[in-house]
Amino acid sequence: MQKASPTLEDVARAARVSTATISRTINTPDKVAIETRERIEQVIEKLGYTPNFSGRALASNRSNTVGAVIPTMANAMFASGLQVFQEVLSNASYNLLVASSGYNTDTELQQIKSLVAQGADGLLLIGSSRPEATTRFLQVRNVPYVVAWCYQPDDDRYFAGFDNTKAATSITAEVLKKGHRRIAMIAGFAEQNDRSRNRIAGVQLCIKNTPDAELLDVIETDYTLEAGGDAFEKIMQQSAKPTAIICGNDVLAAGAIVRARQLKINIPGEVSVTGFDDISLATAVTPSLTTVRVPQLEMGRTAARVMLDLLKDGTSKSHELETEIIHRESLAELNNAANRNLE
Amino acid sequence: MQKASPTLEDVARAARVSTATISRTINTPDKVAIETRERIEQVIEKLGYTPNFSGRALASNRSNTVGAVIPTMANAMFASGLQVFQEVLSNASYNLLVASSGYNTDTELQQIKSLVAQGADGLLLIGSSRPEATTRFLQVRNVPYVVAWCYQPDDDRYFAGFDNTKAATSITAEVLKKGHRRIAMIAGFAEQNDRSRNRIAGVQLCIKNTPDAELLDVIETDYTLEAGGDAFEKIMQQSAKPTAIICGNDVLAAGAIVRARQLKINIPGEVSVTGFDDISLATAVTPSLTTVRVPQLEMGRTAARVMLDLLKDGTSKSHELETEIIHRESLAELNNAANRNLE
DNA sequence: CTGAAAGCGCTTACAG
DNA sequence: CTGAAAGCGCTTACAG
């Protein structure tokens, strides 16, 4: 029923040359005499031939496919970075295999295995820390991979990311600069998530270095509006309230802000809130979020370039991208009104 | 250098059976004697054997891969639907190839070709209307595909979606019920986007059927906060202002709301605004959006099931999912205050 | 239940 | 510049 697609063989017969020559005109055109090539190209056109990737992959041991395992597509963060990553790869004729780990390292390993089995020539991974089993698998299989969303110097892996600890430190410094001393944090679950871990560490570090500052609370929770709201509510129910809450990402911060409004808690009048990522949620929410801008698109683009280098030359280099504090409305100077909360 | 992965051949030798038997214990275990099978499974485990997909794909003419071409991953809409789609497929041992069209039909065709060349066993496509060239390609190649994000009865394609026209009609009816009669719409570009087209049609239809109602304006623009804001501003600069603005999606509506705040235009006091999709932006924004909830996750899940059916049995059936109006704050009863704008 | 063997559609040294 | 041929790692009738 289904008309089978034409094969190299069919083209070769129609063009009266060997399959080798067809293959060459497709892959290395300059090794073919110009007249031969043109004739073949016409035949290809006429037959509507497109190479079969399985055959090609099997013979050449390359799949022209790159795999990405990200925590979730549901957060605009990763989705938009992935979007750019895909575009760049697509322009270089690579297809993108996508899988998600749900922030779970076992699932991540499973997905990595699946993509490698599928023949991915390279992998995009998020975050730098993974279990021994995963590291070993990657090493044994010798799959080139680039690590995004984080950066570590003196590491032989290829990064396209930023320093989460440093970024968290910088937003904390900003909060302290506004006069806040009693601080709480709402973060993502840290155990299987090094970005969250490092952001927490950055906040802790910065506060520890400021004699009169205090980190009242660090609540780890899911990256959802609801969970952010719940954590916020819990923090504000305590007798020792913070004057500023640093959030591990914008979703959490937006959740806190939405909840604050329901609870009639004024932000930033009573408590300041900061975000992390700078997704569109940050500007949509009222008050808009003072946050850390993470260069999502640039990261996707850079990761793709590193990937392409790796695939072509077997080597590339790491890139540390810069984050930036975006000042909006949710972080205020600590004034008397807020100070009253301290008594 | 790189230790080559073990092949079927290696396993066969180690287990002292033929490659056929190994293949069978992997693919059709019940055709193999239990003792043989167990012995082989141990060898597989010991050698860390994983099948090479290219070889498998070439021999069986199935790739165990499904492709999805979506407009963009940057909108949480598609991203979260895709997320679920991927999870379900992954559980059925399918890998997901993802590409984006940027709402452009030429790009879409190009990506479809690329995924089909790659050997995708099936395709997930968004929207029902595409150029002749695309339809023909799909038909000639005879690739099974499911269409999501829309639904059409009496159509032999497989849908997992909802009726955009109907959904738009229902939110418009809601707006009219609140007493609004002078209405404007901010929509996505319609030309290459049937969902946008149908939403516009739904609004127009409903308004046409209400004698004293008037559709002042339909502005088509990019699906971004900024563009939504610009369109809002333009609408509100005109002398003939609407009392309600129906937006083609939540991003546009959120953009309008953010801009309104900057312009000190009270929503819904001076104008009501409605959204479409019900992504988290809708609840984060102030006032929160009255919107049409689109069953994104269910759509992803349903699409995956239809896909799996198609792959297994070559047939399945279409699913029309329901949308629902979510009442929040951005749509108000038309009161005297708003009526003043009419004079 | 198992094996021998053909074949899937390419690529790529190797000769010429 | 071109061709003959081996080989990539599987699956699957076909026999037995």
Residues B190, B118 share a domain: no
Angle between helices A34-47 and A8-15 (to 10 degrees): 120
- Degrees to nearest 5, angle at CA B325 with B321 and B330: 145
* B148 and B265 belong to one structural domain: no
User: Does at least one atom of strand C sit less than 7 Å from the CB of A13?
Assistant: no
Q: Which uninterrupted H or E stretch holds B254?
A: helix B250-262
Q: Are residues A97 and A135 in the same domain?
A: yes
Split at pLDDT 50, 70, 90, the class of A119 is: confident
Q: In this predicted model, what pLDDT tens digit does every residue of A8-63 receive, in sequence order?
A: 999 999 999 999 999 999 999 989 999 999 999 999 988 888 888 889 999 998 88
Q: How far is the CA of A19 from the C1' of D5 (A)?
A: 11
Shortest distance, CA B208 to any CA of chain A (angstroms): 33
**Nearest CA-CA partner of B125 in B160, B93, B95, B92:** B160
Whether residue B157 is found in the same domain as residue B99: yes
Mean pLDDT of A212-221: 96
CB contact at 8 A, A329 and A288: yes
Contact assignment for B280 to A63 by CB distance below 8 Å? no
Nearest protein residue by Cα to C1' of nucleotide D13: B20
**pLDDT computed for residue A155 by the predictor:** 94
Give the model's pLDDT for residue B210.
94
**What's the per-residue H, E or C state across chain A?**
CCCCCCCHHHHHHHHCCCHHHHHHHHHCHHHCCHHHHHHHHHHHHHHCCCCCHHHHHHHHCCCCEEEEEECCCCCHHHHHHHHHHHHHHHHCCCEEEEEECCCCHHHHHHHHHHHHHCCCCEEEEECCCCCHHHHHHHHHHCCCEEEECCCCCCCCCEEEECCHHHHHHHHHHHHHHCCCCEEEEEEECCCCCHHHHHHHHHHHHHHHCCCCCEEEEEEEECCCHHHHHHHHHHHHHCCCCCCEEEECCHHHHHHHHHHHHHCCCCCCCCCEEECCECCHHHHHECCCCEEEECCHHHHHHHHHHHHHHHHHHCCCCCEECCCEEECCCCCCCCCHHHHHCCC
Instruction: Indicate whether A42 and A103 sit together in one domain.
Output: no
* Nearest nucleotide from residue A21 CA, by C1' atom: D2
B20 touches strand C (CB under 7 A): yes
For residues A111 and A120, give the distance between their C-alpha atoms in angstroms, rounded to a whole number: 12
Across the range B55-62, mean pLDDT stands at 90
- The chain B residue lying nearest A71, using CA atoms, is B83
In the structure, what pLDDT confidence band is assigned to residue B4 with cuts at 50, 70 and 90?
Answer: low
> Between A and B, how many residue pairs show a Cβ–Cβ distance under 8 A?
146
Q: Which of A78-92, A102-116, A326-340, B205-219 has the lowest mean pLDDT?
A: A326-340
B210 & B197 share domain: yes
For residues A272 and A243, is the Cβ–Cβ distance under 8 A?
A: yes
**Is position A316 within any domain?**
yes
Residue A221 binned pLDDT confidence (cut-offs 50, 70, 90): very high
Cα A264 to chain centroid distance, Å, stands at 35
What's the pLDDT score for residue A84? 96
B2 contacts on A by Cβ (under 8 Å): 142
Protein residue minimizing CA–C1' distance to C9? A55
Tell me whether residues A280 and B281 touch, CB distance under 8 A.
yes
Helix (H, G, I), strand (E, B) or coil at B161: strand
Confidence bin at A4 (pLDDT 50/70/90): low
**Smallest CA–CA separation between A343 and chain B, in Å?**
31
Assess if residue A2 is contained within a domain: no
CA distance A164 to chain B (A): 23
pLDDT at B2 over 50: no
Chain B, residues 258-317, CB within 8 A of chain A, namely 258, 261, 280-281, 283-286
User: Are both A157 and A174 inside the same structural domain?
Assistant: no
- Quick check: A119 contacting B, CB < 8 Å? yes
Q: What pLDDT was estimated at residue B1?
A: 34
The Cα A108–Cα B204 span in angstroms is 47
Does B318 reside within a domain?
yes
User: Could you check: is the Cβ of residue A33 within 7 Å of any atom of nucleic acid strand C?
Assistant: no
Q: Each residue of A120-132: pLDDT tens digit?
A: 999 999 999 999 9
Same-domain status, B309 and B232: no
Is pLDDT above 60 for B287?
yes
Cross-chain Cβ contact B2/A142 below 8 Å: yes
Question: Could you give the percent of chain A with pLDDT greater than 70?
Answer: 97
- Residue B222 in any domain: the answer is yes
Which nucleotide has its C1' atom closest to residue B61's CA?
Answer: C8
Q: Does A148 touch chain B (CB under 8 A)?
A: no
Predicted pLDDT of residue B339: 47
Question: Tell me, what CATH number does B12's domain have?
Answer: 1.10.260.40
Position A340 pLDDT exceeds 80: no
Looking at the structure, tell me whether residues A148 and A266 fall in a common domain: no
The predicted-structure confidence for B87-143, as pLDDT tens digits, reads as follows 999 999 899 999 999 999 999 999 998 898 888 999 999 999 999 999 988 988 888
pLDDT in tens, B200-227: 999 999 999 999 999 999 999 999 999 9
- Asked whether residue A179 is assigned to any structural domain, the reply reads yes
Q: Is residue B172 predicted with pLDDT exceeding 90? A: yes
pLDDT band at A335 (very low <50, low <70, confident <90, very high): confident
Residues 6 or more apart in contact with residue B16 via CB below 8 angstroms:
none
Distance A9 CA to C10 C1' (A): 10
CA-to-CA dists, residue A259 to A76, A149, A235, A266, angstroms: 21, 29, 12, 10
Q: Which positions 34-53 on chain B have a beta carbon less than 7 angstroms from any atom of strand C? A: 35-37
Determine if strand C comes within 7 Å of the CB of A315.
no
Work out the pLDDT band at A5, boundaries 50, 70, 90: confident
Cα separation, B277 vs B293, whole angstroms = 5
Q: Which of residues 60-99 of A touch B (CB under 8 A)?
A: 63-65, 72-74, 76, 79-80, 82-83, 86-87, 90, 93, 95-99
**Which chain B residues are closer than 8 Å to A80 by Cβ?**
73-74
Q: Are the CB atoms for A275 and A70 separated by under 8 Å?
A: no
Please give the mean pLDDT across all residues of chain B: 93
B177 and B41 in one domain? no
Q: Is residue B56 part of a domain?
A: no
CB-CB neighbors (< 8 A) of A4 in chain B: none
Q: What is the pLDDT of residue B338?
A: 46
Predicted pLDDT at B137? 87
The residues, any chain, with a CB within 8 Å of residue A258's CB and separated by 6 or more, are: A225, A229, A285, B283, B284
Residues with Cβ within 8 Å of A310's Cβ and at least 6 positions away in sequence, in order, are A122, A144, A146, A158, A316
Domain span at residue B314 reads 65-163+296-322
Question: How many domains is chain A built from?
Answer: 3
Q: Residue A3's pLDDT is what? A: 52
* Within a domain: B3: no
B64-103 per-position pLDDT tens digit: 899 999 999 998 889 999 999 999 999 998 999 999 999 9
Do B221 and B336 belong to one domain?
Answer: yes
Mean pLDDT of chain A: 93
Distance from CA of B211 to the nearest CA of A (A): 36
Q: Which nucleotides of D are covered by protein (CB under 7 A)?
A: 1-5, 7-13
What are the structure tokens assigned to A328, written together?
Answer: 């909006």
Report the CATH number at residue B135: 3.40.50.2300
Residue B14 forms part of a structural domain: yes
A47 to chain B, any CB pair closer than 8 A? The answer is: no
User: What confidence score (pLDDT) does residue B334 get?
Assistant: 87
Q: B59: Cβ under 7 Å from strand C?
A: yes
A264 shares a domain with A236: yes
Q: Output the six-digit token pair for A80.
A: 């938009």
> What Å value separates CA A59 and C1' D7?
8
For residues B113 and A186, give the distance between their C-alpha atoms in angstroms, rounded to a whole number.
45
